[in-house]
Amino acid sequence: MAARASRNFIREVLYRNVRFGALGGSRHSSSSAGTAPKIPHFSKKGRLFTGATISLVIAGGAYASTVDEATFCGWLFSATKLVNPFFALFDPEVAHRLAVSVAAHGWLPREKRPDPPILGLEVWGRKFSNPIGLAAGFDKNAEAVEGLLGLGFGFVEIGSVTPVPQEGNPKPRIFRLRQEGAIINRCGFNSEGIVVVAKRLGAQHGKRKLAETSSTISPSNDEAKHGGKAGPGILGVNLGKNKTSEDAAADYVQGVHTLSQYADYLVINVSSPNTPGLRKLQGRKQLKDLVKKVQAARDEMQWGEEGLPPLLVKIAPDLSKEDLEDIAAVALALRLDGLIISNTTISRPDPVSANPVAEESGGLSGNPLFNLSTNILKEMYLLTRGKIPLIGCGGISRKYELEQHLSNFTLLLPTGDLHLFPRLRLI
């Protein structure tokens, strides 16, 4: 592909030079007999520059044609670092929308390098090519699933999706803490609603099925089993409730009935700090009643060979030891398929507390959340005795945090930014 683009560019350069350049041009020839065509004058520097440019293009094209696809892919990802500072010039929410739009239009580089086999794992009968995923909160309305999976994530989680469309909280509602590598948001489940999201996921699903049907290449058994309903990666659907809803269970049940057919796993989000009363659903009785109703709604539906989608609950990092014990007890008693640990925090740990922006209400995510979410992850692993898959979520932004999670903890790990599945190993 790179070689073809280089050849086309060289052809275009040569064509323009033949037509308008030093080689002469038929458009300058005169119809009068005996009149010599006027050849534009080129300085010595101009000829040298043109020759050097053509030589570089030819050399670059020749070199690119010898480079394997994986190396070329690495160049593209390295080049994106030059673009990242551009987004920092915009308002945080504008930058977010712009990033989603870029991914939705397929303007991001695609990861062509295969994941090392050692990174692969199987959970809930689904094969993950790697343990790193994108958490809910980025692509709230399933606009860019294909583009985001193309970046190389092992799984992408969309949402939170509410039954009825809602604007969320008033703007501004996202605030940067640059020095701390963090963000405070109080978006409040801004969502286009389950109907719009279902249509979008349905169209994507149909497009992928059509591509698979028309493909002349027959995948091997391993390739056929790899990935999920979104194609090469696993797709999670995070469900939320409407702000004005009086029946939270009915909202989550509606989400299950409408969206579960497109999901490789489902998430009950009861931990956002930006929807009044939502975190009260983490109480022992409230959570038990809610999970039982949602499980019943899922179980009563008819499922194909892939079986019903696993059901997880996403919890907050601001819970007491007693709260964690209650959640673990419910998860074990109802055989919950997994827990996501954790959502954003309402606390303001150092050094965030010294930043004036810390006074803004909302959930804090980013680097300062790492220690808090990791400690809750460890505690919940002990409470559930390793019987439930855990997705660690929060504060994973650099190689150091990734290595710490992978070397210290258990099964899955990332919040508002990254999800991740480290191998089972307790410190």
**CATH number of the domain that residue 229 is part of:** 3.20.20.70
**Domain total of the chain:** 1
Residue 53 lies in a domain: no
Confidence class of residue 11 from pLDDT cuts 50, 70 and 90? low
Q: Which one, of 231, 300, 315, lies nearest residue 268 by Cα?
A: 315
CB 291 within 8 A of CB 311: yes
Looking at residue 408, what is its pLDDT? 38
Q: State yes or no: pLDDT of 37 exceeds 70.
A: no
- pLDDT single digits (tens) 111-162: 888 899 998 989 999 999 988 889 999 999 999 999 999 999 999 999 999 9
pLDDT at 336: 97
Residue 62 falls within a domain, yes or no?
no
Question: Mean pLDDT, the chain, as a whole number?
Answer: 81
Mean pLDDT of 52-61: 66
Overall average pLDDT of the 242-269 stretch? 97
Task: State the Cα–Cα distance between residues 236 and 412, nearest whole angstrom.
Answer: 13
141: domain range?
69-425
Catalytic residue list contains 32: no
**Residue 44 lies inside a defined structural domain of this protein:** no
Two tokens, residue 337: 């398929």
Is residue 55 domain-resident? no
Note whether residue 252 is domain-resident. Answer: yes
Q: Give me the phi and psi of 315, to 5 degrees please.
A: -115, 165
pLDDT for residue 35 is more than 90: no
Pick the catalytic residue from 272, 342, 365, 373: 272
Which of 37-41, 204-208, 339-343 holds the top average pLDDT?
339-343
> What phi and psi values does residue 13 have, to the nearest 5 degrees?
-60, -45
Residue 348 lies in a domain: yes
In terms of pLDDT, which residue wins out, 232 or 246?
Answer: 246
Q: 326 lies in a domain?
A: yes
pLDDT tens digit sequence for 64-116: 555 566 677 777 777 777 888 888 899 999 999 999 999 999 988 888 888 99
Let me know if residue 206 belongs to a domain: yes
Q: Give the Cα separation of 272 and 140 in Å (integer).
A: 14
pLDDT of residue 128: 92
C-alpha span between 196 and 164 (Å, rounded):
10
pLDDT for 398? 60
